[in-house]
Amino acid sequence: MSREPQTRGRAATLEDVARVAGVSRATVSRVVNGVRNVDPGIQSAVREAITATGYTPNHAARSLVTRKAGTVALVVSGAGDEGEDTDPGFAARVFADPFFGRAVSGIIGYLRPHSLHPVLLFAETEAARAEAIAYLRQGSADGALVVTTHPADPLPARIADTGVPAVLFARPALPVPLSYVDLAHRDGAALAAAHLLARGRRTIATITGPLDVLAGQERFTGFREAMARHGHAWVPFAEGGFTLASGETAMRRLLDEHPGLDGVFAANDLMAQGACQVLRERGRRVPADVSVVGFDDSTAAVTANPPLTTIRQPVEEMAAEMARLLHTHIESGAAEPVAVVFDPELVIRASS
Amino acid sequence: MSREPQTRGRAATLEDVARVAGVSRATVSRVVNGVRNVDPGIQSAVREAITATGYTPNHAARSLVTRKAGTVALVVSGAGDEGEDTDPGFAARVFADPFFGRAVSGIIGYLRPHSLHPVLLFAETEAARAEAIAYLRQGSADGALVVTTHPADPLPARIADTGVPAVLFARPALPVPLSYVDLAHRDGAALAAAHLLARGRRTIATITGPLDVLAGQERFTGFREAMARHGHAWVPFAEGGFTLASGETAMRRLLDEHPGLDGVFAANDLMAQGACQVLRERGRRVPADVSVVGFDDSTAAVTANPPLTTIRQPVEEMAAEMARLLHTHIESGAAEPVAVVFDPELVIRASS
DNA sequence: GTGAAAGCGCTAACAC
DNA sequence: GTGTTAGCGCTTTCAC
């Protein structure tokens, strides 16, 4: 079953295959790399020799001459604490976010067919950031896909400095000469506003994301502006932190101040879920008494009770596009930074 | 701020540094690799030349001669469907499991200080498995850390065949000559039984995990045996699937058949959480009327309502141990496969 | 269409 | 303590 030729001793090299096939190394290389101009007869002879020897190309050797690592760094950049110790829970927290799984899913989807492999790089401390930069400069990866949680993350700028191709998820707070993929957050929020209004809601509040994060700001601004366009100059709001608990707290405050509200737009699904819980706790039926709209269309939107009407952020496609952009930049050498902005979409479920 | 010497043209090589410092390549190499026997004066001259040139060692070149990739494959092996298409949701589902985040956290914790980098490898289809094997045989990774969800996964055996060092999470269903890290599931279940009994519970049921998964079997067996030792020869049970929904379903069945039950052991926290919901729905107070014990001590245990008494599985430490074992195997060349089994621990919270 | 030969950037004997 | 010299395994002109 598991015959493993050439298992003893060192692994087979191009040289070994060439000797067995009775040709030169160059020819074997051509066959392996699918270069045309090789006689069909010789071609099959070489193939036989390859299976006979159990040959597998040595990646390092190939990399050395092609100057391609076949690898892409998946950099998850964190809060940016200057703390000495690495944050042990960082990875766990990142992975706990449904967003990350979807992003990885999309990234893998593109990378795999192109024989690129993602190397996980967490950069949550200064030391880790320095290490990540060193890693990139070593040429260990052909490029970097960067996901940041922190608004004022210094890493993107430093990556740009290395000259290694890189693509960011979301527009950086400070301009950086790197390509990025983003969502039209304002349009998404406007979609939510229009929907709530179309449902006949009149007293509509919003639970914002953290207002020092761009996405938080944009969703808030977009919502307010859309409401204003429909004649609602003032929108009651409470700031949340994109977590379930913060959604609950915000909802309580909103309800205390505006007991008569009949519509809520939460800047993400987790907070919308928290809002629903509090609403029910306070005797409001969702959606009979109050309509709730979330944002992201994460797994939370589907598992919530009731399932959430939400603004879909196509994370998988956005992540795949990141990978595609990066690949393009790697292939083309230079290339100007570009921004690809995706359109959100209203997904109607039971909460509105 | 961001001076980047030698940015134009090719990156600096050892040769360049040697020329600038007026020494030989070998000496620079010695300094870079911290080999003693280098004159302090020359040492600092070399260091200066290094910063002057902006030198960074080329990873591929180093790899080629040291035969070390500085990389470890993090293989997540899936259901093993023979389906043609790759499963788009696989990565997302894996990441959604709190277990995975904790495992990665522990792995990174060990790998990082040892300058090893994890490459993500999903192997959920036959094609992906073949690719993963090829990747390992190329020498792109020095070893593999394998996490399998599927009981009859063919991948571990094939990895063993490659001769590349590898360590598994959990004992494989079929014996494979690879090291693994596991938990004493039976002891954990026994801990749960003893605790429930100590709480004065008399009619105790269990929601098992999937019984075709080793962990599911072991937790069930351990629980039954412990209960038997305490005079409870028969334990009502319902099989679940380690998901929240399956916990709910199982709890309903159990309650229908044994309305008087006053204790439940669920084989994981998610199912325990589902059980609590159903219990409350049916008018039982937790823990006043029914004590509930989960397993894993995942994030679900803490966020559940009420917070769950559970059996802690030290995933981070287990994962770190995997990495440590792998590192040892890589360094020592051969080495016999070993098994490291961790002890579970009772964590008491509000549900019992 | 195929082979010979040069070299990618680095480490590691081995001399001195 | 430092320099010289071989390669590591591969791709890629350049002749033929």
**Interface test mutation site (partner B, options A32, A64, A111, max chain B beta carbons within 10 A):** A64
Q: How far is the CA of A38 from the C1' of C2 (A)?
A: 8
**What six digits make up the tokens of B273?**
């959480």
d(CA A313, CA A336): 26
Distance B13 CA to C10 C1' (A): 9
Q: So what's the pLDDT on residue A128?
A: 92
Q: H or E stretch including B291?
A: strand B291-296
Share of chain B above pLDDT 70, in %: 94
Chain B hits for A94, Cβ within 8 Å: 101
pLDDT of B98 reads 79
Q: Residue holding tokens 């980047």?
A: B4
Mutate to test the interface with B, among A1, A32, A56 (most CBs of B within 10 A): A56
- Give per-residue pLDDT as tens, B215-231: 999 999 999 999 999 99
Predicted local distance difference test score (pLDDT) of residue B86: 64
Q: A316 is written with which tokens?
A: 């998988």
Mean pLDDT of chain A: 92
Tell me the whole-structure pTM to 2 decimals. 0.91
What distance in Å separates the CA atoms of residue B170 and residue B185, rounded to the nearest whole number?
Answer: 10
Q: What is the mean pLDDT of residues B232-246?
A: 95
| Partner-chain residue, chosen from A7, A60, A157, that has the shortest CB–CB distance to B64 | A60
CA-nearest residue to B71 within chain A is A119
What pLDDT is attached to residue B62? 95
Cβ-Cβ pairs closer than 8 A, A with B, add up to 150
Q: Which residues of A touch B64 (CB under 8 A)?
A: 58, 60-61, 64
Burial class (CB in 10 A: 0-12, 13-18, 19+), B59: buried
Q: Do the domains spanning A14-66 and A185-312 agree at the CATH topology level?
A: no
* B13: CB within 7 A of chain C nucleic strand: yes
Which two three-digit tokens encode residue B181?
């890290």
Cα–Cα distance measured from residue A180 to residue A176, given in angstroms and rounded to the nearest whole number: 10
Q: Look up residue A286 and give its two tokens.
A: 């969702």
H or E element that contains A75: strand A71-81
Of B238, B253, B230, the C-alpha closest to B206 is B238
Residue B156 corresponds to which amino acid?
P
* Distance in angstroms: CA B11, C1' C4: 29
CB B251 within 8 A of CB B275: yes
pLDDT band at A108 (very low <50, low <70, confident <90, very high): very high
Chain D, protein-covered positions (CB within 7 A): 1-13
Domain ranges in chain B?
14-66, 71-183+316-342, 185-312
Burial class (CB in 10 A: 0-12, 13-18, 19+), A158: middle
Asked if the Cβ–Cβ distance from B128 to A137 is below 8 Å, we say no
pLDDT value at A252 more than 70: yes
Tell if the CB–CB gap between A108 and B131 is shorter than 8 Å: no
Residue nearest to nucleotide D9 (CA to C1'): A61
Q: What is the pLDDT of residues B136-164, one digit of tens each?
A: 999 999 999 999 878 789 999 999 999 99
pLDDT digits (tens, 9 = 90+) for B160-215: 999 999 999 999 988 999 999 999 999 999 999 999 999 999 999 999 999 999 99
Nearest CA in chain A to B162: A4
- If one compares B50 and A334, the residue with the highest pLDDT of the two is B50
Q: Could you give the CA distance from residue A112 to residue A151 in angstroms, rounded to a whole number?
A: 30
Three-state secondary structure call for residue B58: coil
pLDDT beyond 80 at A213: yes
CATH architecture for the domain at B71-183+316-342 = 3-Layer(aba) Sandwich (3.40)
Superfamily of domain B14-66: lambda repressor-like DNA-binding domains (1.10.260.40)
d(C-alpha A254, C-alpha A236), whole Å: 7
* C-alpha dihedral sign at B96, B102, B103, B108: positive
DSSP per residue, A179-203: EEEEE-HHHHHHHHHHHHHHTT--S
Q: Residue A112 above 60 pLDDT?
A: yes
Question: What pLDDT does A10 receive?
Answer: 74
Nucleotide nearest to A63 (CA to C1'): D10
Q: How far is A135 from chain B (nearest CA, A)?
A: 9
What superfamily does domain A185-312 belong to in CATH? Response regulator (3.40.50.2300)
Question: Please, which pLDDT band fits residue B312 given cuts at 50, 70 and 90?
Answer: very high
Backbone torsion region of residue B204, taken as left when φ is above 0, otherwise alpha when ψ lies between -120 and 50, otherwise beta:
beta
Cβ-defined contact of B4 to A163 (cutoff 8 Å): yes
Separation between Cα atoms, residue B298 and residue B30, nearest integer Å: 47
Query: 3-state class of B338 per DSSP?
Result: coil
Cβ within 8 Å, pair A102-B121: no
| Residue in this structure with the two tokens 């930049």, named with its chain if needed | A329
Neighbours of A129 (CB within 10 A): 22
* CB-based contact B5:B54 (threshold 8 Å): yes
Chain A span 49-68 residues with beta carbon within 7 Å of strand C = 61, 64-65
pLDDT of res. A81: 55
- Rounded Cα distance between B210 and B243, Å, is 10
Q: From CA B172, how far away is CA B126, in angstroms rounded?
A: 19
CB A129 within 8 A of CB A90: no
Closest to A264 (Cα-Cα) out of A330, A172, A344, A351:
A351
Mean pLDDT of chain B: 91
> What pairs with residue B121 in β-bridges?
B75
Contacts with B316 from chain A: Cβ below 8 Å: 88, 92
The residue ranking higher by pLDDT, A317 or A86, is: A317
Angle, helices B25-32/B40-53, rounded to nearest 10 degrees: 90
B68 CB and strand C closer than 7 A: no
